[in-house]
Amino acid sequence: MREIEATLEAAVEAGVNLFDTADIYGQGDSERTLSRLLRRHRGRMFVVTKVGGRHSRYASAIRLAKPVLRMLVRSRPQLRNTVVRARTAAVSHNFHPDELRLAVEASRRRLRLDQLDGLLLHNPSISTLRDTEIHDFLAELLRAGSATHVGVSVESIAEVEAALRIPPVTIIQLPLVVANELSGTAILQQVRERNIAIFIREILRRPDSGIRNNFSLHNVVSAAIAPEFVTAAIIGVSTRSHLNELLSVLS
């Protein structure tokens, strides 16, 4: 945990100001860690969290086993993909407004924020995005002051189009491959007219790409953020050394 906090602290000092998380990341530990950083750097951080995912009843046991799992993964790196798959399989989704309200309140408590900077629905289906109860729920968050901005994390062009039909949405998070499909489409006109912030993720899709190849990483990230409609890029790093390598090729 100290390594994670030191990495986050270094990121803030280096000028990184967007931090992406979700209520299910680390069974809430990701939000708790960011809350400690927010106490020291509130004016320098914009934190976006996501809700809608839900862990299985075994999540508490997994959380307690984290220290052991970390040691195993460090000693046997080949286990990392197995652990990630098991963690992903333990997650389901629930976008009922009552469940989402509880999730938002829990995120606010963990982040220790009265008003979230950004609140996104975490990869909802098309039918969820078209549900007017969901539209009303997001509008309600803004009216109540529970969040400054609301939006959606999506996986496809069709989901981008559905998200754009939700009046309160001001943030759309999407994979780089989907962002590349937006170029030259009529969708971008709607993005511009509504001043939608586009956050791109999954820029380095291969686990061995990028950070170990500075020239390649520089080109990949530069190309990803080059389009004028891209507001910010989300790039995950796991250690302080990874962050330093990333910053060195972007400076």
For the stretch 110-119, pLDDT in tens is 999 999 999 9
* Claim to verify: residue 81 and residue 199 sit in the same structural domain: no
Share of the chain above pLDDT 90, in %: 64
pLDDT higher at 225 or 98:
98
pLDDT of residue 207: 45
Is the per-residue pLDDT at 205 higher than 70? no
Q: What is the pLDDT of residue 33?
A: 95
Distances (CA, A) of 178 to 39, 43, 87, 182, 240: 35, 31, 25, 7, 29
CATH number of residue 230's parent domain: 3.20.20.100
Between CA 7 and CA 236 the distance in angstroms is: 11
Mapped to the 3 state alphabet, what secondary structure does the chain carry? CHHHHHHHHHHHHCCCCEEECCCCHHHHHHHHHHHHHHHHHHHHCEEEEEECEEECCCHHHHHHCHHHHHHHHHHCHHHHHHHHHHHHHCEEECCCHHHHHHHHHHHHHHHCCCCEEEEEEECCCHHHHCCHHHHHHHHHHHHHCCEEEEEEECCCHHHHHHHHCCCCEEEEEEEHHHHHHHCCCCHHHHHHHCCCEEEEECCCCCCCCCCCCHHHHHHHHHHHHCCCCCCEECCCCCCHHHHHHHHHHHC
Are residues 109 and 170 both part of a single domain? yes
Check residue 188 and give its pLDDT. 96
% pLDDT > 70, the chain: 81
Nearest to 87 by CA among 66, 110, 118: 66
- Same domain flag for 83 and 184: no
Counting the structural domains of the chain, the total is 2
pLDDT score recorded for residue 108: 98
Give which of 73, 18, 88 is closest to 47, Cα–Cα. 18
pLDDT tens for 126-138 read 999 999 999 999 9
- Which structural domain range is residue 60 located in? 56-93
Q: What is the CA radius of gyration of the chain?
A: 18
Task: Look up the pTM and report it.
Answer: 0.83
**63 contacts 27 by C-beta, under 8 angstroms:** yes
Mean pLDDT across 164-183: 96
On whether both 100 and 86 belong to a single domain, the answer is: no
pLDDT interval class at 80 (50, 70, 90)? low
Q: Are residues 100 and 47 in the same domain?
A: yes
Query: Which is more confidently placed, 43 or 251?
Result: 43
Least confident of 7-11, 79-83, 137-141, 147-151: 79-83
User: What confidence tens digit (pLDDT) does each residue in 53-77 have?
Assistant: 976 555 555 555 555 545 555 566 6
Residues sharing a CB contact under 8 Å with residue 209, sequence separation 6 or more, in sequence order: 216, 217, 220
Q: Average of pLDDT values for 78-98? A: 67
More confident residue, 47 or 244: 47
Q: Do residues 101 and 212 both lie within one domain?
A: yes
- What pLDDT does 88 receive? 53
On whether both 156 and 63 belong to a single domain, the answer is no
Which residue among 70, 93, 116 closes a domain? 93
pLDDT for 27: 85
Mean pLDDT, range 24-28, rounded to an integer: 89
Look at residues 46, 50, 49, 48 and name the one whose alpha carbon lies nearest to residue 17.
46
Q: Is residue 198 domain-shared with residue 216, that is, in the same domain?
A: yes
